[in-house]
Amino acid sequence: MYYSIIISLIEVVLVLVPALLGIAYVTIAERKTMASMQRRLGPNFVGYYGLLQAFADALKLLLKEYVAPTQANIILFFLGPVITLIFSLLGYAVIPYGPSLAINDFSLGIYYILAVSSLATYGILLAGWSANSKYAFLGSLRSTAQLISYELVLSSAILLVIMLTGSLNLSVNIESQRAIWNIFPLLPVFIIFFIGSVAETNRAPFDLAEAESELVSGFMTEHAAVVFVFFFLAEYGSIVLMCILTSILFLGGYLSINSLDVFNFFYSILFNIGFIDLNFFNIFYYFYKEIFVNNSIIEGLIYGLTIGLKSSILIFLFIWVRASFPRIRFDQLMAFCWTVLLPLLFALIVLLPCILYSYNILPVNVL
């Protein structure tokens, strides 16, 4: 009995510690990338090439004085950030890093992620309201309105993906992309989903909650020390989660190009032009297959590296967007969501099942 608890404890640590380390390194990656885009050096003193900067910052903020304003509701003031952090980290439980390789790969994984990411809004609302400062209050109102509006965009984009794959399980979603990645039939939805996820994580062109020139720092004006770390970690945690989710839903998740297919392609070309000796090539092919393809450890490594590479490219895209575009106004942001993205998505929700039905390609749900 204890054995199973120890196994699940190891599983949890194996998922959570790399996730937290990844979040820490995404912060440095953002600072370094933005520095390169603005022709500066960025952090380069702590550790080699600035690699320990995130840990130095975290340690500093852990040991800073906490400030709880006298007019604030103290319990809600500390509870809000904790809720935000917890709910932004909970989503990692259902991410499959390999075929069905998640903490709990259950059949309603997408519902779970949607529910957990929408609960994080409560933390922002509580933190902004309880601080009893007008800047924090206005920031939290804006942020909540933005988050719930763009959550509609995200969930209807996910609905369109589900219509193609026919299952709410993330592993089934990935496996049904073995034929073709969802980005090819659903390119407009991918773009809309990307815009929605930038807005959902309060990132740069849409970071109206913390527009420094109007509201000092948005809903976290009064929050200092570790409470600020919670918001920081929650923001970057949800960025990483959103990027992993995008790569799962649209870019095939852990699926990479099968190396044997590439091998066979070149093999057939070389063989057809009579360039190559068949015996030599067969021996080479045999060893390649034994070492790289039939080896489960290397297969698993390639799965993990693939999903990591895809989500890293998406995270780079997030940072690139932040370095490139100016912030837009709040009424433009809301008008863009409600009058451009949502009608477009409703039209697609009507169009897509009609196309699927008329070409008789409705997906079969095997699970």
Partner 1 sequence: MSSMTLFILFVSIIALLFLFINLIFAPHNPYQEKYSIFECGFHSFLGQNRTQFGVKFFIFALVYLLLDLEILLTFPFAVSEYVNNIYGLIILLGFITIITIGFVYELGKSALKIDSRQVITMTRFNYSSTIEYLGKI
**Does the footprint of partner 1 cover residue 119 (CB under 8 A)?**
no
> From the list 27, 33, 53, 133, which residue makes contact with partner 1 (rule: CB under 8 A)?
133
What's the rounded Cα separation, in Å, for the pair 310 and 113? 19
User: Are the C-beta atoms of residues 113 and 94 closer than 8 Å to each other?
Assistant: yes
In the complex, minimum distance from the CB of residue 68 to partner 1, in angstroms, rounded to a whole number: 7
What's the rounded Cα separation, in Å, for the pair 142 and 128? 10
Q: Residue 1 burial by CB count (10 A; 0-12/13-18/19+): exposed, middle or buried?
A: exposed
CB-based contacts of 307, cutoff 8 Å, min separation 6:
97, 244, 247, 248, 253, 254
> From the list 8, 258, 264, 295, which residue makes contact with partner 1 (rule: CB under 8 A)?
8
Q: 33 or 84, CB closer to partner 1?
A: 84
> From the list 12, 270, 278, 301, which residue makes contact with partner 1 (rule: CB under 8 A)?
12
> From the list 21, 37, 62, 313, which residue makes contact with partner 1 (rule: CB under 8 A)?
62
In the complex, minimum distance from the CB of residue 264 to partner 1, in angstroms, rounded to a whole number: 33
Site for partner 1 in 16-45 (CB under 8 A): 16
In the complex, minimum distance from the CB of residue 112 to partner 1, in angstroms, rounded to a whole number: 10
Q: 146 or 306, CB closer to partner 1?
A: 146
**Does the footprint of partner 1 cover residue 359 (CB under 8 A)?**
no
- The two three-digit tokens of residue 240, written as one number: 């990483």
What's the rounded Cα separation, in Å, for the pair 95 and 181? 18
> From the list 25, 99, 132, 344, which residue makes contact with partner 1 (rule: CB under 8 A)?
132
φ, ψ dihedrals at 251, nearest 5°: -105, 15
What's the rounded Cα separation, in Å, for the pair 137 and 160? 35
In the complex, minimum distance from the CB of residue 132 to partner 1, in angstroms, rounded to a whole number: 5
Binding-site string for partner 1 from residue 214 to residue 253, where x marks contact by CB under 8 A and - marks none: --x----xx--xxx-xx-----------------------
In the complex, minimum distance from the CB of residue 355 to partner 1, in angstroms, rounded to a whole number: 11
**Does the footprint of partner 1 cover residue 70 (CB under 8 A)?**
yes
- Of the candidate spans 80-88, 200-208, 241-249, 319-327, the one that interacts with partner 1 by CB under 8 A turns out to be 80-88
**Does the footprint of partner 1 cover residue 159 (CB under 8 A)?**
yes
Element (H, E) at 188: helix 187-200
CB-based contacts of 274, cutoff 8 Å, min separation 6:
none
Site for partner 1 in 86-115 (CB under 8 A): 86, 89-90, 93, 103-104, 111
**Does the footprint of partner 1 cover residue 56 (CB under 8 A)?**
no
User: Are the C-beta atoms of residues 235 and 124 closer than 8 Å to each other?
Assistant: no
- Of the candidate spans 42-50, 178-186, 294-302, 348-356, the one that interacts with partner 1 by CB under 8 A turns out to be 348-356
> From the list 53, 149, 202, 306, which residue makes contact with partner 1 (rule: CB under 8 A)?
149
Q: 161 or 319, CB closer to partner 1?
A: 161
> From the list 11, 35, 46, 308, which residue makes contact with partner 1 (rule: CB under 8 A)?
11
CB-based contacts of 166, cutoff 8 Å, min separation 6:
172, 176, 362, 363, 364, 365
Give the SS3 label for residue 282: helix
Q: Is the dihedral of CA 92, 95, 97, 98 positive or negative?
A: positive
User: Are the C-beta atoms of residues 228 and 279 closer than 8 Å to each other?
Assistant: no
φ, ψ dihedrals at 308, nearest 5°: -65, -45
Q: 147 or 319, CB closer to partner 1?
A: 147
**Does the footprint of partner 1 cover residue 64 (CB under 8 A)?**
yes
**Does the footprint of partner 1 cover residue 69 (CB under 8 A)?**
yes
Q: 43 or 139, CB closer to partner 1?
A: 139
Binding-site string for partner 1 from residue 160 to residue 199, where x marks contact by CB under 8 A and - marks none: --xx--xxx-------------------------------
**DSSP for 13-28?**
HHHHHHHHHHHHHHHH
What's the rounded Cα separation, in Å, for the pair 339 and 190? 18
